[in-house]
Amino acid sequence: MFDKILVDIHSHVLPNLDDGSKSLTESLEIIKTFHKLGYRKMITTPHNQQGWFNNSPEQIMDALNKMNIAISIHRINILLEAASEYFLDDLFLELLRKKKLLTFKNKYVLIELSPFILDKFLFQRMDEILQHGYIPVLAHPERYIYFYQRKEQFHKLHEMGVKLQLNLISLSSAVSTELRTIAEYLIDEKLISFCGSDSHSMKNPKIIENLPNETTYLEKLIQTNPLLNHTLM
């Protein structure tokens, strides 16, 4: 089933750049798992967040090159590329205005928000990203609790051209029922353009491996939502 997704667009598999993989061995184990499932490309996305993770494009590309050497030594038949997961903060706005963002397919920018506090300028910021010629991809919309009672906001984002990226683990029993219900709502409403693993370690790959045994929503996502992952191959 995962061969229909083909490309993962959200992970933290470059060792020691952020809160993701802690070693080359751990990274290789994660990447091998996705290859075994049928994925043929991973666009990995180290964090950029002011005061927490400051990963320049040069640092990310340097780490990517090293990882790609390890992938070829271990003969894993998968393409690894890199972008970044940007927290919507002042650092991001500075990089946006300087056009110094790491994107995928030259236009998509992965954005994350505070899980608890709604950014009152959210829609203006998304509009500014679009005005700069990028397409914002909102990471794991199902995790932002302030949308739970205001589900029309998901539709508003979708209608303005923001792509929504679901975390696959949000369809599993590893998350709260409330979160899972929101993830299923987004699929029922056909609002999901991308899915991602958000792998920081082997935890998410193991949950994702078992997902077809656990839920029918994975198949529903692939069959009924306007998924774009495969177009990035």
Identified binder of Fe ion from the candidate list 18, 142, 184, 198, rule CB under 5 A: 198
Nearer to Fe ion, 10 or 41 (CB): 10
Nearer to Fe ion, 144 or 213 (CB): 144
Please compute, for residue 111, the number of CA atoms within 13 A of its CA located in the half-sphere on the CB side. 30
Q: Which of residues 119-148 bind Fe ion (CB under 5 A)?
A: none
Give the integer Cα–Cα distance in Å for 30 and 215: 22
Closest CB 101 distance from Fe ion, rounded Å: 16
Helix 217-224 with 177-188: angle, nearest 10 deg: 30
Give the integer Cα–Cα distance in Å for 210 and 206: 7
Q: Which residue, judged by CB position, is nearest to Fe ion in the bound state? A: 198
Closest CB 5 distance from Fe ion, rounded Å: 17
Closest CB 85 distance from Fe ion, rounded Å: 5
Closest CB 112 distance from Fe ion, rounded Å: 6
Helix 122-131 with 90-97: angle, nearest 10 deg: 20
Phi, psi (deg, nearest 5) at residue 7: -125, 125
Q: Does 18 bind Fe ion (CB under 5 A)?
A: no
List residues binding Fe ion (CB under 5 A): 85, 198
